[in-house]
Chain A
Amino acid sequence: MKNDRPVSRAPLTLMALVLMVLLFSLCTAVCVRVMVSAYLRSVSDEQRDMAALAAENAAEVLKSCGGDMSRFALLAGGSGDDAVTVYYDESWSAVSEGTREYTLTVTPVDSGEKYLGAADISVAGADGELFSLRVGWQEVDGNE
């Protein structure tokens, strides 16, 4: 009783393929997750870098103004009397509030030391604070 019918190997190949697809799907899920995370990380890192630069700039300008907030607001393109706020657009150019993407806030604080001025500088984006630092300067020779 010899069987002359050709033996199909398709089911076996299909099974192997299905296994491959399953394994591939699993790897893809992991890879896509990693890729998305890398992309988001690079975006947030770039924002943080620029936020650090903006905060550093603000600190230098504030030190140059000797803590004079109105002069700082004028130089930095911000607004406010006690705490100054500067708005930035996507390309980190100072803009009005309407088109803002990032906000830099400078709030004077008490340093606890005589003749030492201090202020907190905070840069925030849509998802919260990106960078912050405290700047201090000596209040002497009429800078008080």
Chain B
Amino acid sequence: MIKSERQHRLGSIFVLLVFCIFIFAVLLVMLLGAKVLRSVSDRSENAFAQRTCVQYIAEKLRHFDAQGAVFTGSFDGTSGSGIETLFLSEEIDGDTYYIRIYCYNGSVCELFSEASAVVSPEDGTAIAAAASLDFEQSGDLLTFTAENSDGSLTSMSMKLRCAREATQ
């Protein structure tokens, strides 16, 4: 009788043990899955952040690449040491408008305004996160480098078909 009871208890313990191992395995697989998912998501987010900013500027440049329409300078339109800004100009009903692309407060911002309008950097719309944005023009080749939030640099060069001097 006692032997049978002991066998019964041992059987229960064994079942419990198998159940614990099963739960442990489930948790392990779930953790592994979460880790892989986070890694894939981080990688995708980094790739997005790295490419979006420069690709966005490249597309803007392609769109506005006309005689004298693309130039770089300080935010206020001078060659002074303000916020480095890319200017894309277009004429609408005889008036000149500027699209300014610059980095402000950890974001690449875009601001559309009349050329003569007095604007400030905080008026722009944040496009993508970036620590800094530099423009360098050498002849007809415009190179822009964005420092991403993680400190990595993404650079892109564009040949301007209708280039003019780097600063006004």
A83–B50 CA distance with the chains assembled, in angstroms: 29
Q: Give A43 to B139 CA distance when docked, in angstroms.
A: 36
Surface stretch bound by A, among B4-12, B86-94, B108-116, B122-130: B4-12
Asked, given contacts A57-B156, A61-B157, A64-B140, whether A24 binds B22 with beta carbons under 8 Å apart, the answer is yes
Interface check B105, CB cutoff 8 A? no
User: Shortest distance in angstroms between A8's beta carbon and chain B's nearest beta carbon?
Assistant: 5
B15 and A17 contacting across the interface, CB-CB below 8 Å: yes
A31 touching B19 in the complex, CB below 8 Å, given contacts A10-B8, A60-B157: no
Mostly, the B contact residues are: helix
Bound CA–CA A24/B29 (angstroms): 10
**A8 neighbours in B (Cβ, 8 Å):** 7-8, 11-12
Q: How many A-B residue pairs have CB under 8 A?
A: 90
Docked-complex contact A53 and B156, CB < 8 angstroms = yes
Closest to A21 in B: B22
**How many of A's residues come within 8 Å of B, CB to CB?**
35
Report B72 CB to chain A, min CB distance, Å. 16
Q: Nearest Cβ distance between residue B152 and chain A, in whole angstroms?
A: 6
- Which of A6, A10, A43 has the most B CB atoms < 10 Å from its CB? A10
Interface of A is mostly: helix
Confirm or deny: B162 has a beta carbon within 8 angstroms of a beta carbon on chain A. no
**CA distance in complex: A36, B33 (Å):** 9
The complex places the Cα of A50 from the Cα of B51 at a distance, in Å, of: 8
Asked if B18 and A32 make an inter-chain contact with CB atoms under 8 angstroms apart, the answer reads no
Q: Does A26 contact B (CB under 8 A)?
A: no
Residue in contact with B159 in the complex, picked from A11, A53, A60, CB distance below 8 Å: A60
**Are A46 and B47 closer than 8 Å at their CB atoms?**
yes
Output the least CB separation between B70 and chain A (Å): 14
Interface check B25, CB cutoff 8 A: yes
B119 within 8 A of A: no
Contact of A14 among B11, B29, B155 (CB under 8 A): B11
Binary interface profile of B, 144-162, with partner A (CB < 8 Å = 1, else 0)?
Answer: 0000000011111111000
| B39 interface contact, C-beta 8 A | yes
CB pair A43–B29 under 8 Å, yes or no, is no
B47 touches A45 (CB 8 A): yes
User: Given A20, A45, A63, which contacts B22 in the complex, CB threshold below 8 Å?
Assistant: A20
Quick check: is A39 within 8 A (CB to CB) of the other chain?
Answer: yes
A99-128 contact mask (Cβ, 8 Å, vs B): 1 or 0: 000000000000000000000000000000
Q: Besides A32-B32, A60-B159, 10 other CB < 8 A contacts?
A: A5-B1, A8-B7, A14-B18, A39-B40, A42-B40, A42-B43, A53-B156, A60-B157, A60-B158, A64-B140
Q: List 17 A-B contacts (CB under 8 A).
A: A6-B8, A8-B11, A10-B11, A10-B15, A11-B11, A20-B22, A31-B29, A38-B36, A38-B40, A42-B39, A42-B44, A46-B46, A50-B50, A53-B51, A53-B55, A53-B154, A64-B159
